Structure 1
Amino acid sequence: MTQLIGLTGGIATGKSTVSAMLAEAGLPIVDADKIAWQVEGPGQPTTQKIAAAFGPQTLLADGQLNRRWLGQQVFNDAEKLATLTRLTRMPIQRAMLAAIIAAAQTKPAAVILDVPLLYEGGWDHLCDQVVVVTAPENVVLTRLMARNHLSQADAQSRMASQLPLVEKVKRADFVIDNGENVDKTRTAVLKWLKTIIN
């Protein structure tokens, strides 16, 4: 029977690295971020609603969301973040559920539900188990500043907008530490895989 496995972690803990390893092992990945980009693509109804709520500067010339500008708006304003969440949650959830059903059709050992805000969105209640990717806070901060070209203050603001990593770790069924090197991460991933693939 196919299991639904939630994969999450704090921002910039390296969840995508673990997700890629699981895909290499042959497990289908339902990636919430990729689905969100599709739902919020140029000309999509959700994109139009976001632009109507936040103004014309929300869109770039090609119709794509100006995600950098939008991120600056919502990560420092709880009310604006709530507005964005209200506009995007249901369309993304519908698309994700459809993707889960499609991925399960081939009857894999597990479908991986890769969701940054898995606990915040209540997706953990649908999962047979949850794997949390973690890393030390100083490592996460450095990665996030470099990856997203953010100031320390902006990076810390984004980190603070999520459920604390320590809380995610407490609620996890399995924890993968991605704070050191990729070989140690791969070893931990393979150790966990043995528990679900016979």
Structure 2
Amino acid sequence: MSGDRIPVIGMVGGIGSGKSTLARWVAERYPVVAIDADRIGHQVLERPDVIRRLREQLGDDILNEQGNIDRARLARRVFGDTPAHHADRQRLEQIVHPEIQQDIERTVAGLDPSATCCVLLDAAVLLESGWDRICDFVIFVDAPEALRHHRITSLRGWSADELARRSASQWPLERKRSAATALVDNAGPIDESGARLWNVVQRLVPGCGRGPGAG
């Protein structure tokens, strides 16, 4: 970290660990910007050039009647642990991941260092995609398996099979944990977990929250 460059903290964890909720909690209260890579990914999938390239690689069956990407159909093609899933996921990532990274870097570069003390980058595949290379630190958000499953089934409506297929496309939790700079427990109330995350942010980025715009 040097000059006016804003530090970037990547957030990783299991599906349903609550990374997005924690990042938003902190960003709503402190001079921190939360970037949701999954949301950027959804926007990238709407770009005509990306649609064209994905259609060339994966065929027409990933499109809806309007000729746009059907995310549910695409998910069935790329999430799973078979060789076919793996091959299709690689084709998807080769097209989409560079676009997402460029958008992340543009967003960070456009922020005002006098108003933002750090960025929380929430990305389900932060480590798998190599986006941790644009991060100064990585935080692992921890939550018990039963709680993560409850969050997924109640909030996203995923079946156990859907969760298993998507989890197969990510690193094992212990590998993610070992790659992290710090850990935050998110098993309790959001205010407690959010405060823990903010404390970790302040430890990793000394002075964060003490400048203009601090809350």
Alignment TM-score, normalising by the size of structure 1: 0.88
- Could you list the per-position Cα deviations for residues 139-186 of structure 1 after superposition, in whole angstroms to 9, with x for gaps in the alignment? 222322333333212211211221112221222122111123223212
Gaps in structure 1 of 5+ consecutive residues? none
- Could you list the per-position Cα deviations for residues 50-107 of structure 1 after superposition, in whole angstroms to 9, with x for gaps in the alignment? 1232232322244542111211111121111111111212222222211121125556
1:171 equivalent to 2:179? Answer yes
Aligned residue pairs, count: 197
1:18 to 15, 22, 35: 22
**Two-structure CA RMSD over aligned residues (Å):** 2.1
Specify the alignment match of 2:37 in structure 1: 32
User: Where do 1:1-198 residues align within 5 Å?
Assistant: 1=4, 2-24=6-28, 25-41=30-46, 43-76=47-80, 77-104=85-112, 106=114, 108-195=116-203, 196=205, 197=208, 198=210
Q: Distance in 2 between matches of 1:106 and 1:63?
A: 43
Percent of residue pairs identical: 28
Gaps in structure 2 of 5+ consecutive residues? 211-215
Q: State the secondary structure of the residue aligned to 1:120.
A: helix
Query: 144-153 vs 167-176, which deviates more?
Result: 144-153
Displacement over 4 Å in runs of 4+ = 104-107
CA change 1:129–1:58 in 2 (3 A) is same
Alignment TM-score, normalising by the size of structure 2: 0.81
Q: Distance in 2 between matches of 1:74 and 1:147?
A: 22
CA change 1:95–1:165 in 2 (3 A) is same
